[in-house]
Structure 1
Amino acid sequence: MPTRFPFDKLGECTKWFSKKLGEGGFGSVFAGKLGEERVAVKRLEGARQGKKEFLAEVETIGSIDRINLVRLIGFCTEKFQRLLVYEYMSGGSLDRWIYYRHDNAPLDWHTRCGIILGIAKSLCYLHEGCRRKIAHLDIKPQNILLDENFNAKVADFGLSELIDRDQTQGNDDDERHARVYGT
């Protein structure tokens, strides 16, 4: 189980959420430092889950430790606050590099192939290697993070759908698609 942090400690480590790294559909991510370790703290907004469901999901995410998945270090659940503490990825998100923002140089072919392979390995693990399959449902360049050596790691997989291994295909997939996409 990842470490449970008090809200005040995460507030202090992020300098009270002053340095925003990014923003997504589930909340904003802030830079922080716990001791000597740099971290990324995701502050969930409009949490749909109760405390019990949130903790169950944190336990599932926290049990996954793969080289191509962003590692969950800890969490906070105080009153209505829901925060997730992840390892910091110094290369930022893939969209920053493929769209040539911030005067970044284009990625060479070898680096691109390595990134694609890392993404493929992580998705294969989520779909086939976990005790419960995890359908990411939101793969996009903003959810692919890079370390200082351009190794790719998939993020935001914990806020996806957990699927029991014995769940049948077919109608269940159609129902899940309808729930996710509103069709």
Structure 2
Amino acid sequence: MTSTTRPARTPEEAAAHRRDVLLPLTGLLMALFVGVLSSTIVSNALPRILGDLGGTQAEYTWVVSASLLAMTASTPIWGKLADLYSKKLLVQAAIGIFLVGSLLCGLAVSTGQLIGFRVLQGLGMGGLQALTQVVIAAIITPRERGRYMGYLSGIMSIAVVGGPLLGGIIVDSPLG
């Protein structure tokens, strides 16, 4: 039996490969961090936001749930689209949808608008979550993928834990 193994990379090739992987990975992880952070950072400011907009307790629940429902429902759709179309364009579209949704959330003048814009934001977040994993699988070999998925898990954990903390600091400081 003969085995075909790839020759070992030179240190220069390994550094170039690492750089080729880390540059897009850094951008993807930053976008994912902001997306996940947006769903948790609002929790401390939401009572004040709804007070300013004249919202009710039922609307409070919908503001929180709207983005999560949209994210959950759109994640498999983004994954299927990644099989059919350019992953790069889809990532850019997801980031754009998320940014437009976030901007519109900041400009909302009623609770109904805020809920609708949070749905739009959730559609972008669904794309970010699905497409980040798709792109990582496309650019990283299966042997190295576990290490990079660890970075993904770490970023998501920091965003989930740090969001309420950062939201509380912003609400209780002169920034809020």
User: TM-score with structure 2 length normalisation?
Assistant: 0.25
Structure with bigger helix share is: 2
Greater relative CO, 1 or 2 (CA 8 Å, sep 6+): 2
User: TM-score with structure 1 length normalisation?
Assistant: 0.25
Rg larger for: 2
